[in-house]
Structure 1
Amino acid sequence: MVSPRLVAKIEAEEPTLRLAVLIDADNAQAAVIEGLLAEIARFGEATVKRIYGDFTAQTSSSWKKVLQRYAIKPVQQFAYTTGKNATDSTLIIDAMDLLYTRKFDGFCLITSDSDFTGLAMRLREEGLTVLGFGEKKTPDAFRNACHKFVFTEVLRASTVAEPAESTQKTVDEPKASPPKPPTGATEPKQEFPKQFVLTALEQSIDDAGWAHLGTFGSYLTKLQPDFDSRLYGFKKLSELVKAKTELFVTEERLAPGSTQKVLYVRAK
């Protein structure tokens, strides 16, 4: 079951979780670090940031350039035997040590390696929130062991696209600017799972047929931890349901005892 604190954070603005961020340098890309830390900040405060790998190896050279800038503590692990990954063992041992300090609400595991599936399950058994970050090649076992799984390809796209656009403006000859795409929309990466989303909505609605957006989003994540509206061209779930007018009807209502409006959605 998804942690109530994580559910609250999906639509909240203030961080609610104290998080330990553990990065597997052998199975993560340094190019996504800025977007990665920004994404983690949506869920809570990264009170510990550690990265594990053999930083004497050429394959880890890209990480050495960003560790100091983002205050990430490197944990050097030499490869004692060819073909064996000593980094995994060190990361898992550290995770258990941090777990027993009882100082954290959750863990962020940055890896595309299914070997961490057992660790994610163990952390969940302790009642902690587990957030996974990895590439699309990450096996389903690890994705589903996390409360929420985010594809790093989405983060890389968001951090690379903007600088490219600003550079284009400075080098191009003056001319009329083409119309910009709607705010928050990006190029869809894969086919929209229409039936899955409508089924999740049906399970989230009240007796009148409406579902609070937060409840709907929570149920989507419970069923499929790697569900992310950015994969389909929208930064937020609210933008997705508003744009899919052929599938959804939306309505803004005042929250009880508040002047703040909340979004409700139902199937068309």
Structure 2
Amino acid sequence: MTDEARIALLIDADNCPAAKIEVILDELAKYGVTNVRRAYGNWKSSGLKSWEDVLHEFAIQPIQQFAYTKGKNATDAAMIIDAMDLLYTQRLDAFCIASSDSDFTPLVMRIRTNGLKVYGFGEKKTPMPFVNACSKFLYLETLGTQPRSEDEAAAASVQKKTGKELRGDTRLVTLLRNAVEACQDDDGWASLSAVGSHITNQTSFDQRNYGYKKLGDLIEATGLFETERRGSHLFLRDKRNTKKNPG
């Protein structure tokens, strides 16, 4: 049995809702063990009251950071300093940055330079440079419990991108087509697992940010690929290849 990956979770409490901490930890459990759990902020502030109730429950260490200068985010600086200290003093395999603040983009890029993965969690307002810098980034709005009422279910379904919307996302279409092309065999078919691995190695991507639980469901919804099931495995082929090589 191989050792589980060791993950350090650093939370910008000013820019991350306390109500989402359980789903963040549940998601991280898929990738390894969250050995380090720290939340940063000015704990004398009434704005962090909701965090106080969950710190002990989830074994999160609160790191006090006073706002020394008005208009300057001392919390960000403290997180960055601690992250670099952990990077060089602890045996870690990955970091998780929970924040919607783009100021952490250079930090993420620096950590990844050392060969570690960085998982990001933030709200949909998170600037794209931070989202794209992470190994994997998940919008907090897409994580949580199942809808409990018909109204909530309807609201959740609205978040799912339609095939037209997916095809209109140039970055997404290019990403999917390039991944299929990179993994295809002589007949143009590529296994879904290989495509998923290729995308993960290339950029920050998670189909749940588009409203789909599975990558295969998202790809089928685009209408851009033929699909073929071989046993328990799904294979894909760009429909443009079919037109070039009918039969």
Same fold judged by TM-score > 0.5? yes
What is the DSSP-based 3-state SS (H/G/I as helix, E as strand, rest coil) of the residue aligned with 1:65? helix
> 1:134: which partner in 2?
122
- Deviation of 1:60 after TM superposition, in Å, equals 0.9
**Letter paired with 1:232:** Y
Displaced runs of 4 or more, over 6 A: none
Whichever residue aligns with residue 8 of structure 2, its letter is A
TM-score of the superposed pair, with normalisation by structure 1 = 0.75
Match of 2:173 among 181, 192, 195: 195
**Per the alignment, in what secondary structure is the counterpart of residue 84 of structure 1?**
coil
CA deviations on 1:64-122 (whole Å, 9 max, x unpaired) are: 12111111111111112211111111111111111112411010111111111111111
- Match for 2:195 among 186, 200, 216? 216
Q: In the alignment, what sits opposite 2:225?
A: 247
Question: Where do 1:168-187 residues align within 5 Å?
Answer: 186-187=157-158
- Structure 1 residue 203: Cα displacement: 2.9
Q: Which residue of 1 aligns with 2:50?
A: 62
Aligned residue for 1:108?
96
Q: Contact conserved, 2:224 with 2:238, CA < 8 A, in 1?
A: no
Q: Equivalents in 1 of 2:210, 2:225: separation in Å? A: 15
Alignment TM-score, normalising by the size of structure 2: 0.81
**Contact 1:186–1:234, Cα closer than 8 Å, also in 2:** no
Distance 2:157 2:212 in 1: 6
Deviation at 1:228, TM superposition (A): 2.3
Structure 1 residue matching 2:236: 3-state secondary structure: strand
Query: 1:11 matched to which residue of 2?
Result: none
1:147-166 CA distance string (max 9 Å, x none): 111111111xx32x44x349
Give me the whole-angstrom Cα distance separating, in 2, the residues matched to 1:69 and 1:223. Answer: 36
Structure 1, unpaired ranges of 5+: 1-13, 169-179, 254-260
What RMSD in Å do the two structures reach over aligned CA positions?
Answer: 2.7
Kindly provide the CA deviation profile for residues 169-200 of structure 1, in whole angstroms up to 9, marking residues without a partner as x: xxxxxxxxxxx99xxx9544443246333343
Q: Check whether the contact 1:92–1:119 (CA below 8 A) recurs between aligned residues.
A: yes
Partner of 1:120: 108
Q: For each residue in 1:113-145, what CA deviation from the matched residue of structure 2 results, as whole angstroms up to 9, or x when unmatched?
A: 111111111111111111111122212221222
**Could you say which structure has the higher helix fraction?**
2
1:237 aligned residue: 215
Q: Cα offset for 1:22? A: 0.6
Q: Which residue among 111, 122, 135 is the counterpart of 1:147?
A: 135
* Secondary structure of 1:69's aligned partner: coil
Equivalent residues of 1:20, 1:107 under 8 A apart: yes
Aligned to 2:184: 205
Letter of the 1:28 partner, please give it: C
Amino acid at match of 1:63: W
State the match for 2:244 in structure 1: none
Q: Could you tell me whether the CA contact under 8 Å between 1:109 and 1:133 is conserved in 2?
A: yes
Q: Could you give the per-residue CA deviations for residues 210-232 of structure 1, whole angstroms, max 9, x where no partner exists? A: 2222221133345541x322233
Equivalence map 1:3-152=2 (5 Å) = 16-152=4-140
Which amino acid in structure 2 is aligned with residue 31 of structure 1?
Answer: A
CA contact (8 A) 1:54 1:77 kept: yes
What is the Cα deviation at residue 56 of structure 1?
Answer: 1.1
Deviations along 1:219-247, one digit per CA (max 9) or x if unpaired, are 3345541x322233321213434566673
